[in-house]
């Protein structure tokens, strides 16, 4: 478990049968961070041997997700579908060394074996019929690995500790199908050998594959890599995270306005800890990440925690960066900032109130659109006949304002309060509704400073006319 490795080489080997999901992204991040932390290499390998399920769209989606997260690879991408000759070469080595053999048992024969084993209370597995027959290669034959019959295969797992699997629990598993295609476990081991992979960090759903892979490493005469099996990511109901729990594709979170730094931070914290620290920059993680602090228990994906963490990363990013990041979300919402409005300043006022870029785009609507739509409940509660006095008084004050700074806006607003004898709690809401259409928004002085004198006066006058019309309608 403490074996010395000269240069860490990790890998991420997704199957291109869909998008890059949350669990896979976390595995990629763990491998990438560990390689970077140790000054090693990170290899990307596309395991596309399942031709029916593998698609180019899925490959593109995986690349898209990794690039969004900021994960870069040093070698690859390698494609298993292009490496069949190499796998056949290693299968031949196993045949030549007596560690593999041809098997001609038919599917019907295999079914009989399993049924017989189950009827006798034994585990349904291949019974070794062809193991010592030394059969030649034929068109319908498969190649099986000659697994050890006794003893145990041991995994010294950096995360889960010592795991021993009794060899009698396993059977002579197939390494080459009758159609000439290599199986998963054989291809993975050959890839890891030829790519120099010496550290394998993956989900603990692979633990059942690990003994078979260890046997293949041993039979081929290669040093075992270091294994670390990471517990699963679960949904709120403590079952494996899936579509029914919400989005599982990392790019779906990108599309809702999560920052990549926040996504990486959150996924790393799903199972890894560094004291009580929750907020990490990418630089922090590259410096501090290690394998020994990965927990042994599954982690639960909590959307509220991700959103809270994203809000923190938005604050850390600042308005200068966010103004560019929010633009695609403004475009998507059909919002076009007009000339003369400082988008960066508008964004700055919204940062404390938003958890995603999508929320920020929607929250900014009142800044950039000419027509303000009043919230009905807000109107009922605050747009009363007596509300017209502070609105009109503020119009007069702002109309005569030369220096339109936030400090001067604050000054004239408080002068208005003194003249009308109203408290902020009474005068503020109708002004806020006039400016934004809502009762919840950034500070009034901030809003006025962003939208400018002309737009402020236009909105206040419209609100005053609206209140007056309401009063006349009641009369």
Phi then psi for residue 191, to 5 deg, are -60, -50
Asked whether 228 and 198 are in contact (CB, 8 A), the reply is: no
Cα(414)–Cα(391) distance, rounded to whole angstroms? 13
Angle at 20 between CA 16 and CA 26, to 5 degrees: 125
Phi then psi for residue 139, to 5 deg, are -60, -35
Category of 372 on φ-ψ map: left (φ > 0), alpha (ψ -120 to 50) or beta:
beta
DSSP track, 61-108: HHHHHHHHHT---SEEEEEGGG-HHHHHHHHHHHHHTTSEEEE---HH
Q: In what order do the strands lie in the sheet with 226-230?
A: 161-166, 152-157, 226-230, 199-203
- For residue 171, give both structure tokens: 């059977």
- Active-site option among 67, 223, 243, 332: 243
Cα(102)–Cα(291) distance, rounded to whole angstroms? 40
Active site residue 243: yes
Cα(245)–Cα(237) distance, rounded to whole angstroms? 9
Pairing of β 226-230 and β 199-203 = parallel
Q: In what order do the strands lie in the sheet with 75-79?
A: 9-12, 41-46, 75-79
- For residue 339, give both structure tokens: 């000339």
Q: In what order do the strands lie in the sheet with 100-103?
A: 100-103, 142-145, 174-176
Cα(285)–Cα(143) distance, rounded to whole angstroms? 45
Rounded alpha-carbon distances, angstroms, from residue 457 to 11, 327, 369, 389, 407: 61, 27, 15, 15, 18
Pairing of β 174-176 and β 142-145 = antiparallel
> From the centroid of its chain, how far is CA 258?
9
* Residues with catalytic function: 243
């Amino acid at each position: 478990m403490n074996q010395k490795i000269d240069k860490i080489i990790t890998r991420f080997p997704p199957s291109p049968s869909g998008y890059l999901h949350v669990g896979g992204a976390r595995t990629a991040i763990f491998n990438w961070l560990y390689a970077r932390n140790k000054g090693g290499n990170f290899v990307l390998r596309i395991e596309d041997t399942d031709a029916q399920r593998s698609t180019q769209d899925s490959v593109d989606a995986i690349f898209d997700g990794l690039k969004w997260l900021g994960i870069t690879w040093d070698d690859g991408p390698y494609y298993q579908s292009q490496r069949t000759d190499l796998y056949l070469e290693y299968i031949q080595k196993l045949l030549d060394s007596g560690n593999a053999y041809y098997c001609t048992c038919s599917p019907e024969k295999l079914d009989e074996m399993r049924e017989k084993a189950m009827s006798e209370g034994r585990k349904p597995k291949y019974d070794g019929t062809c193991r010592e027959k030394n059969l030649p290669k034929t068109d319908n034959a498969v190649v099986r690995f000659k697994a050890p019959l006794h003893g145990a295969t041991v995994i010294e797992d950096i995360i889960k500790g010592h795991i021993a699997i009794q060899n009698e629990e396993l059977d002579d598993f197939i390494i080459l199908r009758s159609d000439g295609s290599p199986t998963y476990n054989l291809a993975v081991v050959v890839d890891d050998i030829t790519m120099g992979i010496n550290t394998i960090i993956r989900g603990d759903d692979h633990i059942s594959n690990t003994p078979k892979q260890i046997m293949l490493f041993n039979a081929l005469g290669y040093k075992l890599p270091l294994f670390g099996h990471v517990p699963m990511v679960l949904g709120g109901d403590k079952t494996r995270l899936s579509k029914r729990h919400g989005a599982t594709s990392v790019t779906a979170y990108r599309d809702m306005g999560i920052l990549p730094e926040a996504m990486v931070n959150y996924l790393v914290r799903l199972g890894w800890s560094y004291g009580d620290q929750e907020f990490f920059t990418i630089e922090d993680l590259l410096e501090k990440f290690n394998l020994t602090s990965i927990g042994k228990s599954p982690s639960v994906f909590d959307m509220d925690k991700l959103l809270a963490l994203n809000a923190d990363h938005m604050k850390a990013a600042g308005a200068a960066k966010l103004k560019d990041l929010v633009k695609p979300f403004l475009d998507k919402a059909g919002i076009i900032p007009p000339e003369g409005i400082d988008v960066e300043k508008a964004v700055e006022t919204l940062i404390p109130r938003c958890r995603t870029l999508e929320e920020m785009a929607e929250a900014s609507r009142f800044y950039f659109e000419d027509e303000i739509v009043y919230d009905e409940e807000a109107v009922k509660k605050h747009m009363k006949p007596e509300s017209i006095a502070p609105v009109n008084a503020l119009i007069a004050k702002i109309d005569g304002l030369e220096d339109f700074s936030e400090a001067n806006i604050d000054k004239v607003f408080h002068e208005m309060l003194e003249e009308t004898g109203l408290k902020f709690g009474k005068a503020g809401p109708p002004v806020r509704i006039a400016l934004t259409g809502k009762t919840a928004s950034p500070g009034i002085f901030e809003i006025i400073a962003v939208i400018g004198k002309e737009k402020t006066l236009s909105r206040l006058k419209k609100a005053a006319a609206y209140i007056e019309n309401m009063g006349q309608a009641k009369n």
